[in-house]
Copies of this chain bind each other. A is one copy, B any other.
Amino acid sequence: MKQKTKRHTDPALAQARREQVLAAAADCFRRKGYHGAGMAEISKTAGMSAGHIYNYFTNKEAIIESIIERDMEEMFSIFQEFEDMPGDLVTILLDGLDHAVERHTDIDQGALNLEMLAEAARNNKVASLLHATDVLARERMRQLLVGERGPLKDIADDELTGRIDVMFAMIGGLLLRKMLNPDLDQQAVLKALRPTMKTLLLPFA
């Protein structure tokens, strides 16, 4: 429901317009929040009239939904990268922490993510999308960890579940840290993060 089914004669143009809107909306949501940003402001940022946006999105909600879906796809590509990398998985994941910290301490993206989470608390569609995304992310992670190359092939299922949630909490929590502590020292965080993640990636003693 997040994209108008309306046919456009020039699909490339339509896609370009859609992306214009998504970029503008993401920007506005970051700065003003979902409710704080009006369609007027979004349209001005997107460089098109407010009315025209409705040729590409059924309503404001559909815009944030599309943004979420876009993010979802991006997340999958990250998992794919991990899966495609050769070598020891623990090493790969620990090395990946640098990027993860980078990504989760981008204050603009963080603000946007918070908006989406806050919106999820009162908008079922948004909540469903986020839940679905999370289910898939956990599943991908699980398969990574118990797969052929996985370091946790032998642990109990619910222990694995707990570990994954704690990993995600830790990484996702960085976003909150950056909001609450803008001076967050990434290098210091990484130094503490690596041994901690290692604990989670290997069987407990």
Contact = CB atoms under 8 A, between A and B. Distances in A.
B192 A200 contact: yes
Interface string A5-24: 00000000000000000000
Contacts of A177: 165, 168-169, 172
Given A33-B122, A170-B170, A200-B196, A117 B176 contact: yes
A81 to B, nearest CB: 22
Number of copies: 4
15 contacts: A32-B122, A35-B36, A114-B114, A114-B121, A130-B180, A159-B188, A162-B187, A162-B192, A165-B174, A169-B169, A169-B173, A170-B170, A170-B173, A172-B176, A195-B204
